[in-house]
Amino acid sequence: MATPAERQQQTSPRRPQTPRLVGETVIEPSPRWVRAFFDGVPIADSKRVLMAFEPRHFADYWFPLSDVRADLLERTATDTGPAPSRLGRSLSPGPPLDRYTLRVGGRVAENAAWSYAAPDAAHAALQGHIAFAWKAMDAWYEEDQEVFVHARDPYHRVDAVPSSRHVRVEVEGRMVADTMRPVLLFETGLPTRYYVPKLDVRMDLLEPTDTHSRCPYKGVASYWSLRLGDRVFADLAWSYPLPIPECPKIENLVAFYNEKVDLYVDGDLQERPRTPWS
């Protein structure tokens, strides 16, 4: 007799997961209308893009060549080096890549796009398609909403859940936040973040900074530094004053880096996670 897991596997179609979970390349059609702009020109405009999930890499959009302003692209190299990601990282070495420079009027973006000159079996679906460096473009849109930093992974979840847990944040023994009404934000692959109403935060200890960051799933964040006497803990807390419509529950709440504070949840001191923000 089949186990419950086996029965579920038999009845459920295989869904690609983010590569950090499965460690393989997965390519699937995306139903989204995607556009990339450079110098006011829609360099890529397609309703039939492919989304490629690569190990240790954010998902990428690949456009059919017929939906791209190929007249503005100049092939500058073919090599077997790793493909640059949209965040400037590198993928593992793979099949040969054609690299392109983008020219619009007097503006030039080198290494702005790439395609597989001779894709291997794992990338065969990308034949006749081209990808663009996210940072090289001026703006990206999914449907009519601008998207920042990288493409939105449809298998990446962000859940903001109101809670009655007791959350207390301390820095060097000093209480800087204490609440019984946090919003817990669960995001795929990241530590749980605890968003606290400003009335439950020692806002008199926080100083706004000019730092801002963008998240494709939450919006634009503003930051505060924490001042304790002569010590300043730079950009220790953040808030989303105007989160994107899909994430309204964290609007104007304050979160602190779990990696840098003593965080107590229901009286238990949480282990500091090891992340790029540690």
The pLDDT of residue 79 is 73
The pLDDT of residue 12 is 34
* CB of 134 closer than 8 Å to CB of 112: no
The pLDDT of residue 16 is 45
Distance CA 55, CA 67 (A): 27
Residue 15: CB atoms within 10 A of its CB come to 9
CA distances from 14 to 23, 28, 94, 122, 262 (A): 15, 12, 25, 17, 41
7 confidence band (pLDDT: 50, 70, 90): very low
Higher-pLDDT residue of 90 and 216 is 216
Whether pLDDT at 188 is above 60? yes
Structure tokens of 124?
């065969």
Mean pLDDT, rounded, of the chain: 87
23 confidence band (pLDDT: 50, 70, 90): low
Higher-pLDDT residue of 166 and 23 is 166
Instruction: Give 12-21 pLDDT, tens digit per residue.
Output: 334 444 544 4
The percent of residues above 70 in pLDDT, for the chain, comes to 86
3 confidence band (pLDDT: 50, 70, 90): very low
For CATH 2.170.150.40, list the domain ranges present in the chain: 17-147, 158-269
Distance CA 267, CA 168 (A): 8
The pLDDT of residue 22 is 52
Q: Which of 12-26, 153-167, 195-209 has the lowest mean pLDDT?
A: 12-26
Structure tokens of 263?
């965080």
* CB of 86 closer than 8 Å to CB of 134: yes
Distance CA 198, CA 237 (A): 11
* CB of 196 closer than 8 Å to CB of 169: yes
Mean pLDDT of 39-50: 97
Options 2.30.30.100, 2.170.150.40, 1.10.3720.10, 3.40.190.10; CATH of 17-147 = 2.170.150.40
58 confidence band (pLDDT: 50, 70, 90): confident
Q: Which of 26-35, 55-64, 89-98, 213-222 has the lowest mean pLDDT?
A: 89-98
Q: What is the pTM of this model?
A: 0.75
Homologous superfamily (CATH) for 158-269: Domain of unknown function (DUF427) (2.170.150.40)
SS3 for the chain, per residue? CCCHHHHHHHHCCCCCCCHHHHCCCEEEECCCCEEEEECCEEEEEECCCEEEECCCCCCEEEEEHHHECHHHEEEEEEECCCCECCCCCECCCCCCEEEEEEEECCEEEEEEEEEECCCCHHHHHHCCEEEECHHHCCEEEECCEEECCCCCCCCCCEEEEECCCCEEEEECCEEEEEECCCEEEEECCCCCEEEECHHHECHHHEEEEEEEEEECCCEEEEEEEEEECCEEEEEEEEEECCCCCCCHHHECCEEECCCCCEEEECCEECCCCCCCCC
> Residues 6 or more apart from 250 whose CB is under 8 A from it?
160, 183, 185, 195, 218, 239, 240, 243
Whether pLDDT at 86 is above 50? no
